[in-house]
Structure 1
Amino acid sequence: MSRSANLFITLIRTHHITSRKKLQRVKRAARQLAIPFVLVRSGGSPGIMYAEGPDESGVAGWVNVVKSLRYKDFQCAQKPISHPVNVDKQIKDAGFNEVASVTEFSEVMQRKGLTAWWEVGMGYKAKG
């Protein structure tokens, strides 16, 4: 049985994510801003990042750090908002997580109960 908690969440799209140096800075910013969960789709195009945290200022600060890294075609596809997130898997998967495919990324979004929100952010579905 999963339970949910209201967390601040955000979604970032870029052209690609390949630089290991930039990813280390993304990871460091998450640690410094107390962002307990980050998911990154790296290794090519598209680059996708998701973060969730307990407070809006931390998540917004993390978005600003990522933006300052000047990723090509940076878009904050879903600005930080409070949203219910399934947390049954959160504790097990806490920290900085990387996946190699959009399919793997979408599976994590599905487990967290964020499929509709993610599909709108990715442009797969119209905002309803």
Structure 2
Amino acid sequence: MSQIYRVLIKTHHMTSRKKILTITKAAKRLSCSVVLKIRGPPGIMLAEGSGALEWMEIVRKLRYKDYQLLKKESVAEARLNVPEGSVVELSTMKELGALLARDEVLLRWWKVCMGYQNDDP
């Protein structure tokens, strides 16, 4: 069984359809589950899968403004609940929060990585 990785990236914003298409094609090719918070600031990218580290390198090369790799780690199980090779695009932080709230562990992880919550138990 291959290793599963989770990657969280924050950028200034995500508006370029050309870059989003590149990200989508990479997710499909590398069998990653991806959630994008697009349009206005901030741009958020969350990926899970065995190819997530390769996917992250493709994103890095797109040279997004204020690119920040917030977290890159190996995880025991995928929690994103997005089919492998698929990308979900959301326009607001509220929509992103609602999607992540389907899994309490993932929501807490995201809040800590974003700096919204302390890592205290």
TM over 0.5: same fold?
Answer: yes
* 2:40 is equivalent to residue 44 of structure 1: yes
Match of 1:100 in 2: 91
CA distance in 2, matches of 1:85, 1:112: 11
Name the Cα RMSD after superposition: 2.1
Q: 1:66 aligns with which of 59, 63, 67?
A: 59
1:127 CA drift (Å):
3.4
- Contact 2:60 2:67 (8 Å CA) reproduced: yes
Q: Distance in 2 between matches of 1:86 and 1:49?
A: 15
**SS class of match (2:89):** strand
Counting strand residues as a fraction of each chain, which structure ranks higher?
A: 1
**CA deviation string 1:96-119 (max 9, x = no partner):** 110111111111112133111100
Match for residue 18 of structure 1 among 9, 15, 21: 15
Task: Letter of the 1:23 partner, please give it.
Answer: I
1:32 to 29, 36, 57: 29
Instruction: Quote the offset at 1:126 in angstroms.
Output: 2.8
| TM-score normalised by the chain length of structure 1 | 0.81
Q: TM-score, normalised by structure 2?
A: 0.85
Secondary structure of 2:70's match? strand
Which consecutive residues of structure 2, in runs of 5 or more, have no partner in the other structure?
none
Q: Is the 8 A contact 1:8 1:52 kept in 2?
A: yes
Helix, strand or coil at the partner of 2:15: coil
Corresponding residue pairs, total: 117
Match of 1:127 in 2: 119
